[in-house]
Amino acid sequence: MDLPYKDEYFDLVFTSGVLIHISPADLGRALEEIHRCAKTWIWGMEYYAPEEVQVNYRGQDNLLWKMDYAKRYLDRFDDLELVREQRLPYLHSPNVDPNVDTMFLLKRK
């Protein structure tokens, strides 16, 4: 929650399967740190659900969430725009429906 980098240090910040493990109570702070460190691009690939869904993970609760992470960024930061988003359905998955990942690319305006 406190990345050891200067503001806008990276041209691109990428997460894949990271945000899904951050509790919704802490997610805003994590997004702020990612946004702070990203000079131009934020690229993510995370589990997707249109609304926040807590998923039992390896027999444990409160360790994994699906939600619309691109929307969370866009709702929080006025200087970001969605360049592209693609939803990738699973062929087979035991997780909560919808069984979809999302890949998104955001850019500072």
In a domain, 96, yes or no: yes
Q: How far out from the chain centre does Cα 57 lie?
A: 18
Cα 15–chain centre separation:
7
Residue 2 within any structural domain of the chain: no
Q: What is the mean pLDDT of each run of 10 residues along the chain (109 residues)?
A: 95 97 98 98 96 94 96 98 95 70 97
pTM for this model (two decimals): 0.92
The pLDDT value recorded for residue 56 is: 92
1, part of any domain: no
Whole-angstrom distance, CA of residue 86 vs CA of residue 97: 17
- Tally of structural domains, the chain: 1
Distance CA 54, CA 28 (A): 17
Range of the domain at 26: 10-108
**Tokens in use for 83?**
């360049």
